[in-house]
A and B are shown apart, each in its own frame.
Chain A
Amino acid sequence: MRVFPIGFIVLLTASVALLMSWQLSINDSFTHNVNSLFQANWLSNNSIKLHLTWWPRIFTTLVCGAALAVAGVLMQQVLRNPLASPTTLGVASGASFSLMLATLYAPWLLDFSYSLVAMAGGIITMGIVFALSWRRALSPTIVVISGLILNLYFGAFSAVLLIMNQEKLSGLMIWGAGSLVQTGWGNVSYLAPRVFTLIVVAFLFVKPLTLLQLSESGAKSLGVSLAKLRIICLGLAVLLTSFVVATVGIIGFIGLAAPAITRLIGVHRLLPKFLVSMFIGALLLTLTDLVVQQLPGLMSMMIPTGAATAALGAPLMLWLLPKLSMRSQTQTETVLTRHSEQGRYLSKYTIWIALGTLFFGLFIFSSVSIGNHGWSWIITSGDWSVLEWRFPRLIAAILAGAMLATAGTIIQRLSGNPMASPEVIGISSGTALGVIVALFSGLGSGLTGMYIGGFFGAIASVSLIILLNRKSGFQPEKVLLTGVAITALMGAVQTIVLAGGDPRSYQLLAWLAGTTYYVTNDALIPLTIITAISLSIGFICHRWLDILPLGEPSAHSLGLNVPRSRMFLLLLVSGLTVSATLVVGPLSFIGLMAPHLARLLGFSRAKEHLIAAVLVGSTLMLFSDWLGRQILYPEDIPTGMVASIIGGLYLMWGLRRL
């Protein structure tokens, strides 16, 4: 099915116009209300409200939507990755993080200029991404991975700050959710000229960008300086995003959805793609905002538009997915393929040493800790009772690390996409969504309620993934996009909940951060059994994991039933993720990092890759859990965050060597 571009835009415009005129015809005559755009009647409450809040809001949404869409097109074009969006490069989380730091440690900076702080954060983040990928001439893959790592990094640090200072940061939560409430024309007059200038500049680069679309070598031979072009275009996208993020907050999905829809309705040439995306982005955001304003009572106040676009955009993406024609990923150069020639073998000896280290670590970390009277070692203090609290956590950390590492390895090999991880395919998010529903619907605030909710959420997301991807034979990109949509939905619900400032969100935040705190002794035995079984299945399938990355035709000619094996592996990944997530929260950082680290160590054949990833994952988690309990004693830093903070550093260092 192919929707005609003009028809689609007309439909969008018509719905926006309809809603606008409907809202304008309330309370006063239509013409009076339209007049209030230009001149407020200072005697009429209604006219003032329209002039100072309603009209500026319309214009802000139009400008922001257009800016984000253009930023999205630029990024997707430059990085040649349909998953790239203004949030992918860490700009939004960098801005958010800098605002958080300023709120907590340098409030005078905010008094000076709020936007400038956010923008500085975004630009510095971009600078780091560039620095990390500089030696590879800003290759798309490396840029995306660097962005992703920084995203996780800032995300982890922000979550730590948030858990420690929830009251102080509650205002930032609203900003993070992208509320478009306007109180005057300040934002519009700030944004409009800046966004307009940047978009005009972006149009100047349409031609060289079109060349880039052909192929990298083609563009090079035509004399386009790739690095320069990428820096300029990404820089433009970052500035556009920063302006929007600084003034109205994080509105994520537009930058991803607008270009995707444009591609879907059959626009492939770059210039029309720019224009159409711009319109779609602007109209989509405005439409969402108008609908949000239409919601009754408390709902409209509690649902910020930025979160709503994600919540509405996610089903839209899911509906569009089966219709999305994917070009093959041959263009995408991945880290995976870079190393496959020089596989390193794992000797039995190395494995034993690694296992030994793991057990030695378990011994040390369970016996040494800060206590009421400073540092103590159990052997000398004789206080064995604390093991009751410590041991289940450390064991659970090891098991979760192993499971997530396996899941991550499988999904990364399966998709050939270095950005893939159990979280990216949406299972962790589905689980988290279920837990949120359980917590806030009052169905169960206890542990059992959370577990049941999480389990249903996970099952629902797995079914959705299978349902939507069965026809396409579980094409990796589509599976990933399904995950992106589910994650966006979860993110939206989570932001809405956190922005509402409900004190219960405290508990939720702690769980979402990925902590082993809630693990009990009773959970350990089933967890161990599940880990043992699913890990063995993973190892049995290692031959598939060697064959599948070769591509569908080669795999087929080697006698593999590609769709069936993909579906089986997907189910296995789901099982692994669900069990890990239910017990220790959605700790996806490990699932992403352990396979990366294993590969950076040089293990690229499936079996070695799996073993190394499992060992790396478990050790990393073990150490993280211990460290998280010591750094800010008596406060706990969730295991997942510590893991991603440690792992991220290593990964950044490793990236520079690539």
Chain B
Amino acid sequence: MTTRSFSLSILCFAYLVANIASAAQAAPLRVMSIDWTQTETLIALGVTPIAMAQKSSYNAWVRAPAIPSATQDVGLRSQPNLERLSELKPDKIFISPMFSSLTPKLSRIAPVTQITLYKQDNITWDGLKIFTRRLGEETNTQAEAETVIHTAEQTLAKLAQKTPQNEPPLLMMQFMDSRHVRVFGTNSMYKIAANKLGLKSAWNGETNPWGYSLVGIDQLMGIKGQIIIVKPIPAGVERNLQQDQFWQYLVKSSGQPALKAAPSWSFGSIPSTVRFAEELSNILSNKDKQ
């Protein structure tokens, strides 16, 4: 009995101390987002999300900025584990409209803030800035948001100077299988990155709200431009392309050898855009050495 009440009083004491300590330095907001684009931006703002969805897939597809080790995995983006999330006691949950059907459930755990980024005509540099500032306001990191934007603009300006300016427009695509690509154009972060470097996108066809169009490579005929293949390239595709008469013809008629770019999150925000711009500038300046 005595040991028990003793340990209890120690617990109470520890709790009091912890409370005083946290009141003293205004504990950071416990926030999380289901959406990778928002998670990416949060981390760039210096906020450590307490949780995120599909950590391992984020590491495979978004890669940078790296996830702090304190961030917990709550499972699928479409079905975050509610039990785990409620145990983590977040103060605020961010979602994108894609997951808006989760709002009623999530708002029982913490207030839900819905922030839209990817929709038609919204993906411009200004759109990305607005998105970043909004997340900054929501997490009390307005100053950090300005720094992120400022640094990004500086980096992009520097990259633009380094990048050869006499380049043809870029035909940026990601292979789905040997015959189908997502070709990126208006409303994509790839196009923003290219424009910021002073380059144009060669795809002027329609694109969906996520900035791409899924086409067979037969649709790429007659488009003049530097072909940029965004990795990852699915297994077996490279071998098939080497034997594919039509692809060989496409590359030949584009007048330039196709270039490969390291993977970036295709539906990302400022961090992904800057990362892709760096990669783009890099491969274009080293093109002759390849």
Q: Could you list which residues of chain A lie within 8 angstroms of chain B, going by C-beta atoms? A: 45, 48-49, 52-53, 102-103, 107-108, 110-111, 114, 163-165, 167-168, 170-172, 174-175, 179, 181-186, 297-298, 301-302, 369, 371-372, 383, 385-386, 388-390, 445-447, 450, 499-504, 506-507, 509-510, 515, 517-518, 520, 629, 632-636
Any chain A CB within 8 A of the CB of B111?
Answer: no
Instruction: Enumerate chain A residues within 8 angstroms of B103, measured Cβ to Cβ.
Output: 446
Interface residues of B in 40-96 (CB under 8 A from A): 54, 57, 60-61, 72-79, 81-84, 86-88
Instruction: Tell me which of B177, B214, B253 contacts A302 (CB under 8 A).
Output: B214
- Cα(A503)–Cα(B180), bound, Å: 17
A174 to B249, CA, bound (A): 23
The answer to whether A301 touches B215, judged by C-beta atoms less than 8 angstroms apart, is yes
Q: With a CB–CB cut-off of 8 A, which chain A residues contact B87?
A: 371-372, 383, 386
Question: Which of B88, B104, B175, B221 is the one whose CB lies under 8 Å from A520?
Answer: B104
Which residues in A have their C-beta under 8 angstroms from that of B219? 301
The answer, among A171, A369, A629, for a CB contact under 8 Å with B176, is A171
**In the bound complex, how far is the Cα of B178 from the Cα of A633, in angstroms?**
35
Contact indicator A636/B75 (Cβ below 8 Å): yes
CB <8 Å contact, B267 and A503: yes
Q: Pick the contact of A167 from B57, B72, B177, B236 — CB < 8 Å?
A: B57
Contact A174 B78 (CB under 8 A): no
- Report which of A107, A170, A183 forms a contact with B179, defined as CB distance below 8 A: A183
* B5 in the interface (beta carbon within 8 A): no
- Tell me if A636 and B245 are in contact (CB < 8 A): no
In the complex, which of the residues A383, A389, A499, A632 has the most CB atoms of chain B within 10 Å of its own CB atom?
A389
Asked if B81 and A45 make an inter-chain contact with CB atoms under 8 angstroms apart, the answer reads: no
| Contacts A634-B81, A636-B79 supplied; 6 other A-B pairs, CB < 8 Å | A52-B245, A167-B60, A297-B205, A445-B100, A500-B208, A629-B81
**CB closest chain-A residue, reference B82:** A389
Q: A103-B235, A503-B210 are in contact. Are A634 and B84 (CB under 8 A)?
A: yes
For A52, the chain B residues whose CB sits under 8 A away are 218, 245-246, 249
Contact call B210/A389, Cβ cutoff below 8 A: no
Determine whether the beta carbon of A114 is less than 8 Å from that of B245.
no
A108/B213 in contact, CB under 8 A? no
Evaluate contact between B176 and A174: CB separation under 8 angstroms. Answer: yes
Instruction: Output the residue of B73, B104, B236, B245 with the most chain A CB within 10 A.
Output: B236
CA distance A520 to B218 in the complex (A): 48
Interface status of B4 (Cβ within 8 A of chain A): no
Contact for A45 among B74, B100, B221, CB less than 8 A = B221
| Assembly CA distance A14 to B214 (angstroms) | 32
> Which of chain A's residues has its CB closest to B108's CB?
A388
Contact A500 B81 (CB under 8 A): no
B100 nearest in chain A by CB position:
A445
When distances are taken between beta carbons in the complex, the residues of chain B under 8 Å from A385 are 86
Partner among B86, B179, B234, B245 whose Cβ is within 8 Å of the Cβ of A179: B179
Which of A164, A171, A174 has the largest count of B CB atoms less than 10 A from its CB? Answer: A171
In contact, B104 and A447 (Cβ under 8 angstroms): yes
Q: Are A53 and B57 in contact (CB under 8 A)?
A: no
Please report the total number of B residues contacting A with Cβ < 8 Å: 62
The residue of chain A having its C-beta at the shortest distance from the C-beta of B180 within the complex is A174
CB of B156 to closest CB in A, whole Å: 26
- Residue among B176, B208, B267 having the largest count of chain A Cβ atoms under 10 Å: B176
Please, could you name 18 A-B residue pairs with CB atoms under 8 Å apart, sorted by A?
A49-B221, A103-B235, A108-B235, A114-B236, A167-B60, A167-B61, A179-B216, A298-B213, A301-B216, A385-B86, A388-B86, A388-B108, A445-B100, A503-B118, A506-B98, A507-B98, A517-B79, A636-B75
Taking Cβ atoms with an 8 Å cutoff, the residues of B that contact A are 54, 57, 60-61, 72-79, 81-84, 86-88, 97-101, 103-105, 108, 118, 175-180, 182, 205-206, 208, 210, 213-219, 221-222, 234-236, 239-240, 243-247, 249, 253, 267
- A636 cross-chain contacts in B, Cβ below 8 A: 75-76, 79, 81
Q: Which 7 A-B pairs have the closest CB atoms?
A: A181-B216, A107-B235, A183-B246, A110-B236, A634-B75, A110-B235, A171-B176
- A170 contacts across to B, CB distance below 8 A: 176
Chain B residue nearest to A302 (CB atoms) is: B214
Q: Which residues of B contact A504 (CB under 8 A)?
A: 98
- Are A446 and B246 touching (Cβ within 8 A)? no
With A369-B83, A386-B83, A510-B78 as known contacts, state yes or no: A634 contacts B235, CB within 8 Å: no
B244: chain A residues within 8 A (beta carbon): 183-184, 186
Chain B residues with CB under 8 Å of A372's CB are 72, 84, 87-88
Minimum Cβ distance to chain A for residue B190 (Å): 15
B175, A171: Cβ atoms closer than 8 Å: yes
Q: Which residues of B contact A181 (CB under 8 A)?
A: 179-180, 216-218
Name the A residues within 8 Å of B253 (CB-CB): 45
Bound form: Cα–Cα A445–B210 in Å: 17
| Contacting pair B78 A507 (CB below 8 A) | yes
A184 to B241 Cα, complex, angstroms = 11
User: Whole-angstrom distance from the CB of A64 to the nearest CB of chain B?
Assistant: 15
Let me know if B57 and A165 touch, CB within 8 A: yes
Decide: B218 and A183 in contact? CB cutoff 8 A.
Answer: yes
The residue of chain A having its C-beta at the shortest distance from the C-beta of B239 within the complex is A111
CA distance A167 to B118 in the complex (A): 17
Q: Which A residues touch B101, using CB under 8 A?
A: 445-447, 450, 507, 518
Complex Cα spacing A107 to B213, Å: 26
Q: Tell me the bound Cα distance from A371 to B98 in angstroms.
A: 27
Q: Which residues of B contact A515 (CB under 8 A)?
A: 79
Given contact pairs A165-B57, A298-B213, A520-B105, A506 touches B78 in the complex (Cβ within 8 A): yes
Do A499 and B97 contact each other (CB < 8 Å), given the known contacts A372-B87, A633-B81? Answer: no
Contacts of B100 in A (CB 8 A): 445-446
Please indicate the chain B residues that have their CB under 8 angstroms from the CB of A632 in the complex.
75
- Bound complex: CA A634 to CA B77 (Å): 11
Of listed A52, A163, A185, A632, residue having the most chain B CB within 10 A: A52
User: What separation, in Å, do the CA atoms of A170 and B176 have in the docked complex?
Assistant: 7
Chain A residues with Cβ below 8 Å from B86 are 385-386, 388-389
Which A residue's beta carbon lies closest to that of B221? A49
Task: Tell me the minimal C-beta distance from A60 to chain B in angstroms.
Answer: 12
**Complex Cα–Cα for A430 and B177 (A):** 31
Considering the complex, give the chain B residue whose CB is closest to the CB of A386.
B83
Q: Which residues of B contact A182 (CB under 8 A)?
A: 179, 218
- Enumerate chain A residues within 8 angstroms of B88, measured Cβ to Cβ: 372
Q: Say yes or no: A389 contacts B83, CB within 8 Å.
A: yes
| List of A residues within 8 angstroms of B180 by Cβ | 171, 174, 179, 181
Chain B residues whose C-beta falls within 8 Å of the C-beta of A167 in the assembled complex: 57, 60-61
Given A298-B206, A385-B86, are A634 and B73 also a contact pair (CB < 8 Å)? yes
